[in-house]
Structure 1
């Protein structure tokens, strides 16, 4: 495959050490379905979500790494409507929200799903009428339009990084469709002035793929914890990548969904080379404050 250099990088902004995730708001817990259901019920009210985000901000955690779930649009509306209350809030959109598309295809079929999510434009209309764009499977054209549609909810907000979700990243890795990473990176940079980020469950393989298509010094978020929980290839491969490979690392699942005590997990993670940020989720003020204190203590 010919290496194609990506669009020149946008100005790099150093990430905060702690990023706040959104799994707890939408009933995602990798160890306990019961806890996931409980959290989903608790956060049905948007004011319950905002109270936790406000608690994170009280601890100096201003970056919200979130999916493009429909309810995130409500959060965006609140932040836009209250600029003095959220003057420095940063969003890191993660896309696509796979369940949203799966449900749409089930309800409306493939073409109906495209109509639902794509902007209403002449290009889209032509594609959906079966003209050359769709017949030729113009993946790049459709993909970039979908990116634009997903980012619409964040209009007017600070979005310095846009992430490709692991469910898509790892699917593309498996299919060998590596040019999709370059398409995503180029479009996020050129159209939205943001840095592209990639979330994966296979860090070493993704770094090889991004190097192949010319995405240099990428932002990559992956599970990184001392137990090897959901780390394809094992802990040693990840540690080797952190030591030797040129990329900006963000760690998720450092607690291995609660299997590692918080202090032990944070102390280990903060000692890793080349780690720029940790993303975590929590549903209580006390847990947020505890994590923030541990990171301040161990991240020298």
Structure 2
């Protein structure tokens, strides 16, 4: 791995996600959701400067990990997993008959996985109705299936809570959830992480709760036009200075394609306290050209 910012290839295009419009998502070539094709994009990015793969844990991305493990013997990327894949769980809840049905389905999957630790903590959670134990059960299950798909060669560096969970917990003042996630992941010798679209607010709440940014990863949008930077680009930049630790992985640096890589690089390289950037790619030449430009732009040679 090169010195400087960590460069990560993201998975949004593999789920048909566009942050500009639903119509743009629907118009994309359906082939991108094919695991073999998506794997090729990830591998191309890794061969051209990317250090790792940031992904939401679902069937598509776990298939990508399995294919890399089985067919790409020379590649050993760092992994940054976002859980849960909220859109998948919403779909499953609809199919399973609501939240109760979803809970039964997830519980069944944990038992079928034969993960002794997950089952044990799950039983404790069921008996005591302890929300921290429930969180640990779920995280144990997700870590288990990610590592099972990835094998020993790939390094699961961080597990981040999805933005829906993070931002809801911020709104509800659930400081225990953030602290429990941090404590559990540190015991697992992995970096605890959080994805958010409300970075400035998260920084303020962490200060109120006495949570140190050292050793914590936060994935959040940063770009020259302020796209998805809530409440404003200025407020997010101020909060970035205030955290005092290189803990941030910048998302949406291209503003959903509005900015050229050169424009993104000129903005990002002048920001403090960044740990890395994540960029999704939808075509092989995009993967090759984008990560070569990022590698050169951040001068990581």
TM-score (norm 1): 0.85
Residues 216/249 of structure 1: CA separation in 2 closer, same or farther (3 Å cut): closer
**SS across alignment from 2:228:** coil
Q: How much has 1:277 moved relative to structure 2? A: 0.8
Q: How much has 1:123 moved relative to structure 2? A: 5.3
Residue 94 (structure 1) aligns with: 82
What are the superposed Cα offsets for residues 252-299 of structure 1, whole Å, 9 maximum, x if unpaired?
111111222332122111221222211010112322233223323432
What is the distance in 2 between the residues matched to 1:220 and 1:122?
30
What is the distance in 2 between the residues matched to 1:194 and 1:233?
30
What is the distance in 1 between the residues matched to 2:142 and 2:273?
31
Matched, 1:163 2:160: yes
Residue 142 (structure 1) aligns with: 134
Residues 22/267 of structure 1: CA separation in 2 closer, same or farther (3 Å cut): same
* Contact 2:53–2:80, Cα closer than 8 Å, also in 1: yes
Residue 75 (structure 1) aligns with: 64
What is the distance in 2 between the residues matched to 1:216 and 1:243?
12
TM-score (norm 2): 0.84
* Contact 1:202–1:233, Cα closer than 8 Å, also in 2: yes
Structure 1 residue ranges without an equivalent (≥5)? 1-13
* Contact 2:160–2:192, Cα closer than 8 Å, also in 1: yes
Residue 224 (structure 2) aligns with: 226
What is the distance in 2 between the residues matched to 1:123 and 1:271?
45
* Contact 1:25–1:40, Cα closer than 8 Å, also in 2: no
What is the distance in 2 between the residues matched to 1:15 and 1:63?
14
* Contact 1:162–1:195, Cα closer than 8 Å, also in 2: yes
* Contact 2:5–2:298, Cα closer than 8 Å, also in 1: no
